[in-house]
Structure 1
Amino acid sequence: MRTSRIATVLGGIAAATLLTVTQASAAGAETERATETTRPSVQWVKCIATHGDNDEYQACFAPEGDWFSVHDGVADGSSAVVDWQVGNRYGAIFHADGASSTRFKNKNFPESATIKFRVCKGHWSTKKITAGTCSSYVTNLT
């Protein structure tokens, strides 16, 4: 019985830590909104998507110009979010302009640095990512 209580407490601590880390990622130093509607003429080299329960969010990265594309495919009141990290820099790019659309955001990263990013569900109004909704990370060079 004591082992069961310890496992419950540790599970609760782990869940609270995950929620805090996920929300902190969205509230990072570079929390922005993707507003560009014109597709840049660059080659998208890495894309990641989430699917399930009718959720369809996609994010892509193009090293030429350090562009992100963010697609929100579901009318659910949430935003598609790119959660990214390059070295000590990190941030979140929210697509808050409605479902069935894609927005673009240009960044400026050092050349040949490793970028890792994932796509999540979040809310632009609170600048937070919804815990447990993120894809796995993908990596590429900038």
Structure 2
Amino acid sequence: MKNVSLLFLVLMFVGCNNLTTNRLDTKTLIEFYEKDLQNVTKIVIVDGSTGYKKTIADHAVIEEFLGKVKDIKFIPEDNQEARDGWRYSITLSQDDEYTFQFELTTVNDTYYYTEPDIHPIVDHFYKAVDVKEE
């Protein structure tokens, strides 16, 4: 009987431990990005509906964009089931090294919604930035 009770306690502890280690937290881009955002030298934004992309290398434009999105809260979705498609994909680079990539609702294979909504900010920026689509 002691062995059954001990086994039950161990399984309960392991189960609870897995729940706490798999917990998803609300984060901002600053918290996701493991380097200094001030050192970003290139941003590539890909439009998921057309496949076209814009590459931004102008430091002032990069600062403007990051200033608009760096404090947006990425809040984990309750439903983490796989989905198809995406609106925009954003890749940050330092010099020629890709340092971080995310989509508006996905970061590191986890689904998020954002507050404020990041889509209109990125959509407006993508359409307004004076960079030729590739």
TM superposition score normalised by structure 1: 0.32
Considering fraction of residues, name the structure with more helix.
2
Considering fraction of residues, name the structure with more strand.
1
TM superposition score normalised by structure 2: 0.34
